[in-house]
Chains A and B, each alone.
Chain A
Amino acid sequence: MDLNLAPEDVAFAEEVRTFIDANLPDATRRAMTLTTAFLNEPELGYEWHKLLHKKGWSVPSWPDEWGGPGWTPVQKYIFDLESARAGAPVYNGQGSRMVGPVLMHFGTDEQKNKYLPSICSGEDHWCQGYSEPGSGSDLASLKTKAVADGDDYIINGQKIWTSFAHKSNCMFALVRTSTEGKRQEGITFILLDMDLPGITIRPIIGNGGDHEFNEVFFDDVRVPQSGRVGEENKGWDVAKYLLEFERGGALVAGRVRAQFAKVVRLIRDRGLIDDAHIRIRMAEIGADLDTMEMVDIRVLSDLQSGANPGAISSMLKMRWSSIRQEVSELALDAAGEDILKWEPERPLYDALQLPPDEEELLGIAPRYLNFRAYTILGGTNEIQAEILGKRVLGL
């Protein structure tokens, strides 16, 4: 057992770092520092994605047949870690990390050929139509209805909390195609274009000031059945498969590490390094971060050796989301009354023209507020506890 990377992996990390250093524009780094939403704006990510695409690195987890770089699990981890640490933006995770793998597994050849290349190139931006006003944690209760009509479905209903629906041209959604039998057995997984007649998008402005979420209304929207993934009424199986790709270990670890280092710098700059409360929280959060990074590495080691990481990976979402919040909370505590000044414009990097340390202060409160969503989205921590209790402890 050891923690040391193999020489070829050290060389790979160096290659990734060199590429990022040479190509990631300073303006993008600044924009990422001033990004207060939990996902950066797609425009910011798109430019970087195009560069990665040219390099053949735009879809790290994909097989080379679909434009992936053919990396090992360790290489993928290193790439994510280095990208996140350097402050490289992300782009369209819902395309490359969610619907892409789903299409490779369940899609028809026609669907693969239609969608995968434009996820790889970044031309399409996807959003996820899952939650509804009455169906949050209890997703299987969803009601948005799809009725077959010739070669189409007619969809009526409403989705909510749809990240960047207003900047996406494609959606994958769960819709109800049957009310017979078990609730899970009447759900269908469907792909649709966002410019179809009858789709209305209404923004939801977060408490942190960012427009990230939306409501999406479907009013007699005619969607071709050729966009159905898997069989009708079997969409729940597809959705469960997709969930396996929703965790982004290394991306999270790298980003939280980078943010933590920034907060430590802030604490020093503000002369709070010997403040007893701040110092103990800094030490606790730092040790929590080391701990979860070790859990990530263990999962990676399992993957690398072909072992099944098992249920341990279920705790990643729960703990990482909390640690992210704690880092943002530590920043809040360190900033003191400097959080009082509120800049309503978003994104901050377009709105502000201040010295770096002043403008960074303006991101602290919005980030703290927006980050409350981490323990809610993608299955609340309470739902994660339910899953862990059943699967790990047999409760």
Chain B
Amino acid sequence: MDLQRDTEHTLLADSAERMLSENYDFSARHGSPADQGDDAAWADDMWRQFAELGWLALPFAEEDGGLGAGMVEISILTEAFGRNMVVEPYITTVVLCGGLVAAIGTPEQRAETLPAIGEGALRIAFMGGAAGDISVDAAPSGDGYVLSGARKSVIDAPMAGRLLVPARIGEGIGVFMIDCDATGVTLRPHRTLDGGRAADVELTGVNVGRAQMLGGLEDASDAIEAAIDRTIAALSADAVGAMAKLVEETVEYTKTREQFGKPISKFQVLAHRLVDMKVSEEEARAVTTLAVLSADAPASKRRRAVSSAKSKVGRCARFVGQNAIQTHGAIGTTADLTIGSYAKRLMVYEASYGSTARHAELYAAIIADPDTAGAGLLLSPAA
């Protein structure tokens, strides 16, 4: 048992925070609400910098051109993404899609995909949501399949060259890799709530060969679920970063904003609310650590940790987001301050890969067994 960050972790955290706070200009990337202009060139340049820093190759094995890091390093990075409101397709490309290819891809698929991700040459979006939430069917056809289906708001799809598509094959769920410009693929790009990019995607009779099916598996359900759980762990760290920033900014604001002749931080009702916000942030951080350190554990432990974290972090996120706005007063409701953008980012967290309520239900089903409910976290090791 050891929850201390080592020197390399601290270096990664510091360098990520420095790089992003200096170079990741939120307003340049997101534009004002009125300015929805094209910033693809800016994003491409940023992605190249991510590649140069090794971030895009972080979790992949050395034989796949990666750096062999784990979820702890990923979460350090994504926490910095949350603090700096990064909307690049990192978690979808590297953690979810890259992770899935690394987990079940054939040697050819891995060789063709992972080094390209690591070098920054390939971005991939995932045409699915929570585990089991599948909206595409794969019908056998000749040597391959025909994919049909549609999904709204496929996160990061407009920035991606490829899609990873989970699709029903009879009772199973296979995963297909297709090009975004393949015949039969239609993308309708739009902005997301948090300033990111997504597209409504429709697949009409998209022909795929067996070579495009990850690992040649007609049922990859377990691997999909595991990859989504890792994604949730990474996203939870992102949400913790956003919450930390909201708490910092709100505390700072109350120390400078004066009413009735004194800083409003001196009013006890506000002071105690700030404490509750800070406690929520720390709670979110603690349970995120549980998800991060359980990401590679056997499925039963991983599920418990991830659903515990997603449901708890979701509750903390809503509390912190709402009270950051409330504590700022009228100005908090405007688009002029970044706190509104952070609050939106947390709303996206809550809605992604299974809502707070959905994970609370998944968690309830797990701990409805009293033995599981009574099992401590430390003495039943995660792996």
Contact = CB atoms under 8 A, between A and B. Distances in A.
Q: Which of B5, B276, B283 has the most CB of A within 10 A?
A: B283
A282 B367 CA distance: 8
Contacts of A24: none
B279 interface: yes
Contacts of A388: 275, 278-279
Contact of B289 (A5, A13, A294): A294
Contact of A305 (B4, B360, B367): B4
Interface string A297-308: 110111011010
Contacts of B282: 295, 312, 315
Given A6-B1, A300-B1, A305-B2, A295 B378 contact: no
B374 A258 contact: yes
A298 B361 contact: no
Interface stretch (A181-189, A221-229, A261-269): A261-269
Contacts of A382: 272
B283 A264 contact: no
26 contacts: A1-B3, A1-B289, A2-B2, A3-B290, A4-B381, A5-B381, A77-B378, A81-B379, A82-B379, A260-B374, A261-B371, A261-B373, A264-B370, A264-B374, A286-B308, A286-B373, A290-B312, A291-B312, A292-B283, A298-B289, A305-B2, A318-B279, A319-B279, A394-B251, A395-B254, A395-B274
A385 interface: yes
Contacts of A393: 251, 271, 274-275, 278
Contacts, number: 179
Contacts of B351: none
Nearest to A290: B308
B294 to A, nearest CB: 7
Contacts of B286: 291-292, 294-295, 298
A261 B376 CA distance: 11
Given A1-B5, A273-B368, A386-B271, 16 more contacts: A1-B9, A3-B294, A78-B379, A257-B374, A280-B357, A283-B360, A294-B289, A295-B286, A298-B289, A300-B1, A301-B4, A302-B3, A392-B275, A393-B274, A394-B255, A395-B251
Contacts of B275: 385, 388-389, 392-393
Task: Tell me what chain B mostly uses at the interface: helix, strand, loop, or mixed.
Answer: helix
Contacts of A5: 1, 378-379, 381
A264 B369 CA distance: 8
A254 B367 contact: no
Contacts of B5: 1
Nearest to B316: A291
Interface in A140-197: none
Interface string B324-348: 0000000000000000000000000
A261 B367 CA distance: 9
Nearest to B279: A315
Q: Which of B72, B254, B371, B374 has the most CB of A within 10 A?
A: B374
